[in-house]
Amino acid sequence: MHITCFKNAGGCGHEFCWLCRGPWTEHGSNTGGYYACNKYESSEAKNDDMKVQDVKTELELYMFYYHRYESHRNAMKVADEQLRKAQSRGHDLQKSLGIPSQDTNFLIEATTQILVNRRVLEFSYVYGYYLDRTKLVEKNLFEYLQEKLESHTDKLSEIYETNNELLQKDYHQFIKWREEVANYTRVTKNFLDNFVSGVERGLTFQNET
């Protein structure tokens, strides 16, 4: 979800979030946490005709959730491509670094986890759209768990996308990267389990690992 308008391609260098279109400086480690771009905030009513405003608000609400559903659906296609290429990527690393095949098994594990997370996140926005928004405790817990899963999935995806050419030249850099990917794979699995169990239990309590 981290988009950059590259300067060397004639762009301006601006970095923004594909989900909320907000500046990336308000996201991730730059701010010590993730901007809550999974939470819907309606625009202020400017029309005295409340029926018109109600329709406008409902449309805004629908488009908010649909955009995020579609974004994760598209991201899932990227994750599926990463999974299909993980084996060949592992072979390249094995050949260039002289390492055994088991040292690259984490690539399959990481891409499989990203794919599962994206699928859950995709349909979490369908669930979120129909969630009773008058039940604030349940709504807030759902959005909190969803935000955590979303932010860590994006982080794992970003780490995984490290260029192979950089890793093939330095074994120590590869080891450091492997540990980071493997660690974040475990972290995102924990957040996925927390999210799913939270929904299954009716969003009445939280048990974060």
- Per-10-residue mean pLDDT for the chain, 209 residues long? 73 78 70 59 51 72 93 93 93 94 95 96 94 88 92 93 87 94 95 91 61
Residue 113 confidence (pLDDT): 97
Whole-angstrom distance, CA of residue 42 vs CA of residue 181: 37
Whole-angstrom distance, CA of residue 18 vs CA of residue 14: 12
Residue 200 confidence (pLDDT): 87
Predicted structure pTM score: 0.75
Would you say residue 43 lies in a domain?
no
Return the structure tokens found at 60: 């805004």
Residue 10 confidence (pLDDT): 66
Whole-angstrom distance, CA of residue 109 vs CA of residue 11: 35
179: CATH = 1.20.120.1750
Would you say residue 207 lies in a domain?
no
Strand partners, 2: 17
Would you say residue 42 lies in a domain?
no
Same domain, 178 and 98: yes
* Owner of token pair 């990203």: 114
Whole-angstrom distance, CA of residue 18 vs CA of residue 72: 10
Count of domains forming the chain: 2
Same domain, 195 and 101: yes
Domain that holds residue 12: 1-37
Return the structure tokens found at 22: 């907000």
Residues 6+ apart with CB under 8 A from 170: none
Same domain, 5 and 27: yes
Same domain, 117 and 24: no
